[in-house]
Amino acid sequence: MSADASHAETDAPNAGRAPADTVLRGGVIHTLDPRESVVSALAATGGEIVALGSDAAVEALIGPDTTVIELGGRSVLPGINDAHLHGVWLGAKWPEMMFGGSREGWDTRLLSSEDDRRAAIRKTFELLASFGVTSFTEPGLGPGEDDGVTGCFGSNILESYAALAGTAAQTARVTALRLFGILDGASHFADVKEGLEVPLPETDPRWLNVTGIKIFGDGIPPMRNAWIRSDYRDSGGHGGLMTGDGDEEARLAEFRDMITYAHERNLQIGVHATGDRTIEEFIAQVERLGGAGDLRHYVIHGDLIDADQLQRLQAIGMGIDLQPLIGDFTGEWLRAAVTDEVADAAWPLHLMLGDGLRAILSSDAPVASPDWRQITASAARQLEAQGVTLDRTVTTRLLRMYTSVPAEQDFAEGWKGTLEAGKVADLCVIDADPYAVGPKNFGDLNVDLTMVDGRVVFEREGVSLAARRGVTV
Ligand SMILES: [Zn+2]
């Protein structure tokens, strides 16, 4: 093939096609597609990516009404997906975080009316847009919290999200899990059964999708209420399950019943499981059910998961959502509660870098900051301490843990999570190349622009990338 022919092949694929709504060009666009393609230009129409390639290739799609965003060498990533973030609570508390802020005032009434709830959701949408976050999972809303003290987790929250779904106010796509019990507390199988009979609001699943249920399996090791295989220091027992009442056996039976019931109804299950014993029982029950199939159940937190459990998770199609920043804040606290051996093996992120495991980074905001740049930097520091070299492959994996992998957890890898033709134009523009900066320094990156469904929903002050319209070609 001559040089000319190859030039024609790469540069004329879009000739004769209708002009795009929006073109981004002159950048370093990390598509995170399976081949890890990097292109300089992207075109979107009707919220969907219609072309990617060189600036010259996309030029043919610029018409008089096309918005042209000149990237000027900036980088682009798929929109960030925070797979564990309490959106309403975050909006009601911001800028306060539980870790890195005051530990007081977390058990007071925050929201009382529908106006309050929608205002909190809007605040979160706005905030997340400024971070480049275009999807998140609201993990646990339901009747057990209808009289909850903060007002941030009741079943009416789902109605509030539904009312905003697909409107201009919604700048991040929402996945939700239902909770039939108390936040960080008890739940009962009878309530799960009864609760699942209540119909869900009907919404476009691309904007609001309720995929399953959350179960609080246990607490957290520093509080000595995570269920662990060893004993806590100072004869502190070994914790236990929060499901059901009575002795260990009765609680375990109730836990298993919840998992089986939800699984048989084709619901995704996320279990708050920090202790290795809780994780073990969750995995073992899904193994008994023949694996997760395509229900994509996952461990939430997983502080004390071990190598064998990680392999079994992968083998049966389960995943794990981690919050490295919480590990930073609670590491010493954990060490005071468990043996050195257990503390040394906690949060084994270095064992979760393989392609086949659905391992995800997330914030748990407002428990810790929703800033994915800080969280990725924290993950990178932890990996380095675990002996991992932070090369390009690891950087890609960390970026995937915030984009393409959570899209799988959302059952949405067919239409979001990477930048490919036919997928939604959810993306963020970064002022420097994440690969050049390196993940430990992601905190230095600025998000200049965020786009959801082809719509610019955030632009950093002083940056006016989206201003150019009606370019003559
Ligand atoms: Zn949480």
| Two structure tokens written together for 342 | 């257990």
Cα dihedral: 65, 67, 72, 78 (round 10): -140
**Distance from the CA of 448 to the center of ligand 1, in angstroms?**
28
Query: Average pLDDT over the chain, rounded to whole?
Result: 94
Q: Examine the pLDDT at 297 and tell me if it is beyond 90.
A: yes
| Two structure tokens written together for 216 | 């609080």
Backbone φ, ψ for residue 178 (5° rounding) = -90, 145
Q: Mention every residue, 6+ apart, whose C-beta is less than 8 A from residue 31.
A: 37, 38, 39, 52, 78, 418, 419, 420
**Distance from the CA of 444 to the center of ligand 1, in angstroms?**
26
**Distance from the CA of 449 to the center of ligand 1, in angstroms?**
28
**Distance from the CA of 85 to the center of ligand 1, in angstroms?**
6
**Distance from the CA of 408 to the center of ligand 1, in angstroms?**
19
Q: How far apart are CA 256 and CA 316, in angstroms?
A: 17
Q: What is the mean pLDDT of residues 240-247?
A: 96
Burial of 309 (0-12, 13-18, 19+ CB in 10 A): buried
**Distance from the CA of 219 to the center of ligand 1, in angstroms?**
11
Report whether CATH 3.40.30.10 matches the domain 9-78+424-459.
Answer: no
Q: Examine the pLDDT at 329 and tell me if it is beyond 60.
A: yes
Cis peptide before 95 (omega within 30 of 0): yes
| Two structure tokens written together for 217 | 């399996």
**Distance from the CA of 97 to the center of ligand 1, in angstroms?**
13
- Residue range(s) occupied by CATH 2.30.40.10 in the chain: 9-78+424-459
306-319 residue pLDDT tens: 999 999 999 999 99
Q: Mention every residue, 6+ apart, whose C-beta is less than 8 A from residue 182.
A: 144, 145, 148, 216
CA distance to 39, 127, 388, per residue, from 340 (Å): 47, 39, 21
Q: Write down the pLDDT at residue 266.
A: 98
**Distance from the CA of 140 to the center of ligand 1, in angstroms?**
8
| Two structure tokens written together for 439 | 């993940």
361-418 residue pLDDT tens: 999 999 999 999 999 999 999 999 999 999 999 999 999 999 999 999 999 999 999 9
**Distance from the CA of 165 to the center of ligand 1, in angstroms?**
22
Q: Examine the pLDDT at 221 and tell me if it is beyond 90.
A: yes
**Distance from the CA of 28 to the center of ligand 1, in angstroms?**
34
**Distance from the CA of 64 to the center of ligand 1, in angstroms?**
47
Residue type, 111: L
**Distance from the CA of 14 to the center of ligand 1, in angstroms?**
45
**Distance from the CA of 58 to the center of ligand 1, in angstroms?**
42
| Two structure tokens written together for 176 | 């939700």
**Distance from the CA of 270 to the center of ligand 1, in angstroms?**
11
Selection from 237, 233, 218 nearest residue 340 by Cα: 233
**Distance from the CA of 124 to the center of ligand 1, in angstroms?**
16
Q: Mention every residue, 6+ apart, whose C-beta is less than 8 A from residue 459.
A: 448, 449, 450, 465, 466
Integer-rounded Cα Rg, in Å, for the chain is 23
3-state secondary structure of 137: strand
**Distance from the CA of 343 to the center of ligand 1, in angstroms?**
21
> How many residues does this entry show for the chain?
473
71-113 residue pLDDT tens: 999 999 999 999 999 999 999 999 999 998 877 778 889 999 9
**Distance from the CA of 129 to the center of ligand 1, in angstroms?**
20
Q: Write down the pLDDT at residue 467.
A: 55
3-state secondary structure of 31: coil
Superfamily of domain 80-409: Metal-dependent hydrolases (3.20.20.140)
CA distance to 111, 124, 318, 338, 365, per residue, from 91 (Å): 10, 5, 30, 34, 10
**Distance from the CA of 229 to the center of ligand 1, in angstroms?**
23
Q: What is the mean pLDDT of residues 406-435?
A: 98
**Distance from the CA of 16 to the center of ligand 1, in angstroms?**
50
Q: Are strands 358-361 and 427-430 parallel, antiparallel or unpaired?
A: unpaired
Q: Write down the pLDDT at residue 458.
A: 96
Q: What is the mean pLDDT of residues 329-333?
A: 94
For tokens 């060498």, the residue is: 73
Q: What is the mean pLDDT of residues 271-285?
A: 98
**Distance from the CA of 258 to the center of ligand 1, in angstroms?**
19
**Distance from the CA of 363 to the center of ligand 1, in angstroms?**
8
**Distance from the CA of 32 to the center of ligand 1, in angstroms?**
27
**Distance from the CA of 178 to the center of ligand 1, in angstroms?**
13
**Distance from the CA of 84 to the center of ligand 1, in angstroms?**
6
**Distance from the CA of 299 to the center of ligand 1, in angstroms?**
12
**Distance from the CA of 214 to the center of ligand 1, in angstroms?**
10
Q: Structure pTM?
A: 0.95
Q: What are 452's strand-pairing partners? A: 455
Q: What is the mean pLDDT of residues 138-162?
A: 95
Contact indicator for 327, 346 with CB cutoff of 8 Å: yes
Q: Write down the pLDDT at residue 468.
A: 54
Q: What is the mean pLDDT of residues 8-26?
A: 82
Q: Write down the pLDDT at residue 472.
A: 39
Q: Examine the pLDDT at 446 and tell me if it is beyond 50.
A: yes
Selection from 291, 297, 299, 302 nearest residue 268 by Cα: 297
165-189 residue pLDDT tens: 999 999 999 999 999 999 999 999 9
- Residue range(s) occupied by CATH 3.20.20.140 in the chain: 80-409
